[in-house]
Copies of this chain bind each other. A is one copy, B any other.
Amino acid sequence: MKKINIALCGTGNVGSSFIDLVLKNKQKMMSNFDIDINLTLIGSRKGEIDNTQFEGTIEKDILKVPLNAEIDVVIELIGGTDISYDLAKLSLENGKHFVTANKALIAEKGSELFELASKKNLHLGFEASVGGGIPIIRTLRDGLISNRVNWFKGILNGTSNYILSKMFLENQTYESALKSAQELGFAEPDPTFDIDGTDAYQKTSILSFLSFNGEISLDKIYREGINKIESLDMEYGKELGFVIKPLSLGINYGEKLFIGSFPAFIKENEILANVNFETNVIEVNSENLNSTAYQGPGAGGYPTSTSVMNDLIDIGKGKVFDYFNLLNPIQIDSFDEFKTPRYLRLMVKDEPGVVAEISKLIAEKNLSIDNLIQKEKQKSDEIIPIVIVLGECSEKVVNSLIKELEKLPKVKSPIQQIRFIN
């Protein structure tokens, strides 16, 4: 029986669940996998933990953990890129396998850490960093890597999906949906990284790395949060047969590769359109497989800990995957060139000639209007919404159109733009 000694750093929600899971499943690991996993050391700045079953040592100085000679694997469930980064480097330098749920760390420091792990022939596991309990990292790595990924589409941020689902399905406002997410623990007290798209674009970069076998520089990934979406846009979407979802997209056209993370209109019968609330989903289209989709809980203590356990089983079974090997130089194209149909919502003073002025500017850009919705006004001199669905056009062209439209005296700024992704 293979015996591995593990140390855990970080004892928040995920860390506590992990302690419970690893202690409860010790016998099962031994009988099913022939691996004896011993949690012998916990790094906790507080110096104490709630779990009374743990019989090992608690170390207040986190950075001393990887120096312990008895430890084979260091597990990092702290988050952020400060102490976690130091911990990762120290662990690998000291010959410890490293397992993390930290998307920011992998997205920002992955290349350097994979190189270090490769040199030392150590495993750097990050299954828990994307999609919580959904085994998407190993699926992309083991299951799909033998054939070229054409595109992936995902809902990777549960908070954003929860808020937009509440708005769409229960007609809530953005503010009340966010409040409900916070009350249920699906959103942090400070939800900035969820709703401004930071969390989703870090995860997008990790999926892109595995999908396209290349080094992904974060600044090449287009990013937009969900915080500008209004109930009005949801309603127009319903009318058009589309749902707004927090989309993560990587698409390889062969000559061009685009990666982005932004709210998008998805046709109502598509897989992603029907994945609601805090659930995550990843749909992958590849050369020989066509589309496969994976959905499940994208966060939470036990789902995330299950993914950490799976990395530990890999290590116990002697599987060291060399991710450094996949870090090929690849070209990611500027999102300015990305072409897709667009939804524009303009708030205009309803005076004669306004539609003509708008249409003229659109025609000058050689863009086609697929649909124009103007509701009857309720009273005179009102500001009313006009929705325009443009056929396929690039970011560059639509952005210059929006600038010109916003100069029209009858049009209020800013104009709302949402991409249709089919």
Minimum Cβ distance to chain B for residue A75 (Å): 15
> A residues near B, CB below 8 A?
21, 25, 28-29, 32-33, 133-135, 138-139, 142-147, 213, 269, 271, 274, 288-297, 300, 302-303, 305-306, 309-310, 313, 317, 319, 325-326
Pick the residue among B292, B295, B300 that contacts A134 (CB under 8 A). B292
A310:B133 contact, CB within 8 angstroms = no
Pick the residue among B25, B135, B274 that contacts A139 (CB under 8 A). B135
Of A139, A213, A305, the most chain B CB neighbours within 10 A belong to A139
* Residues in B neighbouring A289, C-beta threshold 8 A: 133, 296-297, 302-303, 306
* Residues in B neighbouring A145, C-beta threshold 8 A: 32
A286 nearest CB neighbor, chain B only: B306
Q: Tell me the dominant secondary structure on chain A's binding face.
A: mixed
A296:B293 contact, CB within 8 angstroms = yes
Q: How far is the CA of A300 from the CA of B289 in the complex (A)?
A: 9
* Residues in B neighbouring A294, C-beta threshold 8 A: 292-294
B142:A138 contact, CB within 8 angstroms = yes
Of A147, A310, A313, the most chain B CB neighbours within 10 A belong to A147
A147-B306, A288-B306, A306-B289 given as contacts; is B142 within 8 A of A325 (CB)?
no
Minimum Cβ distance to chain B for residue A325 (Å): 7
A143-B138, A313-B142 given as contacts; is B290 within 8 A of A271 (CB)?
no
A309 nearest CB neighbor, chain B only: B146
* Residues in B neighbouring A292, C-beta threshold 8 A: 133-135, 294-297
